[in-house]
Amino acid sequence: MKWLLVLVIVCCNAAGDLLDASGMKRHGEVRDFRPRHVLRLIWELARNPFIVGGIAAMAVAFAAQMSLLSIADLSFAVPASASSYVLETVLAKLVLGEHINRTRWIGAALVACGVLLLQV
C-alpha cells in the first residue's frame, strides 16, 4: 500500500507538471499583467484541458501524499520526491523536447541530492 501511494504521488506529480508545462506553451507567452488581462487569462486557463488535467493530477498527488502521511513516516516518501527532479528532467527532454545541457543535468542532480539530505 505504501509503495502504491508513492507510485501514485510520483506519477501524478510528473503528469501534472508535464500537462501544465505543455498547456502553458500552447497558450503562449504571458506578457500582460494588467488586472483585466489577468482575469481573462485565468478564465482561459480554467477552460484549457491541459491545465485542468494538470491541476487535477496535482490534486490526486496531494491527496495521496496526505494518505501516505497517515500510514507512514514523513521520511518514507522523500527519496521518491528527490528522484522526481531527475525523472522529470528526463521527461522534459523526451516528451517536451527541451534541450538539457550539462549544467542543467548537474543542477537537477544537485537539487535531488539536496532534497534527500534535508531529511538527515
* Positions that interact with another protein (CB under 8 A): 17-18, 20-21, 24-25, 27-31, 38, 42, 45, 51, 55, 85, 88-89, 92-93, 96-101, 103-104, 106-111, 113-120
Nearest-approach distance from CB 6 to another protein, in angstroms: 19
Nearest-approach distance from CB 80 to another protein, in angstroms: 15
CA dist 30 to 27, 48, 51, 66, Å? 8, 15, 15, 33
- φ, ψ for residue 119 (rounded to 5)? -80, -15
CB-wise, 4 or 106, nearer to another protein? 106
